[in-house]
Amino acid sequence: MEIRDRYAPSPTGLQHIGGLRTALFNYLFAKSQNGKFILRLEDTDRSRFDSSYVDNLYASFEWLGFHWDEGPDIGGPFGPYVQSERFELYKKYAKTLIENGRAYYCFCSSERLDVLRKEREAAHSSESGYDRLCRDIPPDEAAARAANELYTIRLKIPLGEKTVFNDVLLGDIEWQNDDVSPDPVLIKSDGFPTYHLANVVDDHLMKISHVLRAQEWLSSTPLHVIMYRAFGWDPPLFCHLPMVMGQDGKKLSKRHGATSIDEFRKNGFLPEALINYIALLGASYEEGKVLYSLDELRVRFSLDKLNKAPAIFDYKKLEWFNAQYIKVKPDGELAVLALPYAVRAGLFGAVGLEPAPEQRVLFTAAMSLIKERVVFLSEIPGKLGYLFAEPSVPDVAEFIPKKSNLVEALRFLKIGRGLVAAMAGLDDAGAECLVKDLAEKENVKLGDLLAPLRVAITGSRVSPPLFGSIRLLGGQCCAARIDRAIKKLTE
C-alpha cells in the first residue's frame, strides 16, 4: 500500500501552531514511509474564506522549508486540490447515496428548524439536532418535490446500531449511532457541500491511506466512518494526534501567547527551531537527544513514537531551541537572516534604510559578538546600535565601578585610552593578556579597569564583548569615545 496522507486546512485564518504540528506530522510520516504528502484546501466555508489566508499558508510553508508532493499550486493526478473547484463531484456522490437509500431530500426550512430548537429549549428537552421529519418521505415523492422546492440532502444514520473503528494511537473505539449528529446535512440548500461530505469524498478519491489529525476531530470520525460504509468504501487508517495545550492545561490559544506562524516569524524565531520543537510535541525519538534537523526527523518519525497524552507548549523551551540554532549559524547566514530586522529598526541611519556596503560588512562581522547572547533575531539590532552610531555619553554614575569613585573612574579611562590602539589589532586572548598585565602593574582589578571603558565605548554597562567591539570600531574611534567620556567626567 502506498502511504498517502494530507494536510487539509480551511483558509479561514492564519496558519497556527496546531495546524503546523498536523502538517509536520503528516509530512514526516509520509516521508518516513516513502509516501506522498498532499495539500488540499477545504474552502467550503465561504462566509469566512479569504484569499489572504491562502497566501499566508503558502508563505508560511515556504519559510518553514518543507513542501507537499501534490497540491493546488503544483497539481497532481487527483486534482483539483481545492474543494470549491470540486462541487459537482460532491453533488454527484450525494445523489448516489439517495439512489442507494442512504440519504434523502429534506425540505425543512431554517425557520422550522429554529422553531424546533426553541420549543425543545422551552421544554428542557434532552433531544437535539434534526428530528428526521423528512426521512420517511417516499423516494418518488421526494424526487418530485426536489424539482420545485428548496432542499438539503441529509445522510441516513443507521439507527440502533454502533460504529466501531480502530485508531492507530488510541486503539479500538466504539460509538453508539444514537450519539452521532442526527441525519446531518451533506448538501446545503445553496448547493454547497458540508465539510463532512467533502472530506470523505476527497479522501477516498485522492486515495488517502492515513488520516492524521488532532484529537478534537475524534467525535467526527464515527460520522465519517458511517459515510464511508454508506458509499461502500474502506475508510483510511485514522490517527488522532494528542492535543497541544498551554501550561494551564487548556487548549493552546492566543491568551497563552503567540500562536500564528507569522507572529513567531516576526518575533525572530528561526524555522529550524520551530520545526524541531513542534516535532517533539506529542512524540519522542531518541533518549537524550532533542536537537534534530528536518532530515533527521524524516528518518526517525514513526506512529509508534506518538504519545497519547496532551502535549504542553512551553514558550521558554521554544526560546531555548531558538537560541541553540542561532548559536550555530555561520556569521554570513545569520547576518542575512537578521538584516530585515535591522532595516526595520533603522539600524543603518533611518527606518527602512538598507545598509551601505561597509555597513553590511560591519554587520556581518558583528554576528560573532552576539550570536551566543541572543534568543531572537529581532534582538540583534538593539544590541548593535553602538557600532553604527555614536552612543550618547551616559550619566557619570554609570562609569563608576562598585566600591569606587569618580577619580578612580577617570584614572581607569585614561589607562584604557592608552591601550585601545594596541587592543584593536589583537585577538581576544591577546587583548586580555595585555589588559591583565597592565592591571597588575597598576594594582587595579581587571573588572574595574574594563567597566568604565565599556561604558565609554558602547554607551552601556551591558554590551557585546568589549575586545571584539574595539576591533570592529578601531582604535581611533574608541579613543575618541573615551575622550568624550573623560571630558564629561571632568566637567
Active site residues: 254
Q: Give every CB contact of residue 202 below 8 A, 6+ residues apart in sequence.
A: 8, 40, 42, 83, 86, 208
Is residue 283 a contact partner of residue 306, using CB atoms and an 8 Å limit?
Answer: yes
Cell of 289: 537527544
Q: How far does CA 79 lie from the centroid of its chain? A: 27
C-alpha closest to that of 274 among 294, 289, 245, 288 = 294
Is residue 31 a contact partner of residue 1, using CB atoms and an 8 Å limit?
Answer: no
**DSSP string covering 298-328:** HHH--GGGB-SSPEEP-HHHHHHHHHHHHHT
**DSSP string covering 153-220:** EEE-PPTT-EEEEEETTTEEEEEEGGGS-SS-EEE-TTSPBPHHHHHHHHHHHTT--EEEEEGGGGGG
Walk across the sheet containing 171-176 and list its strands. 171-176, 162-167, 237-241, 210-214
Cell of 299: 528518518
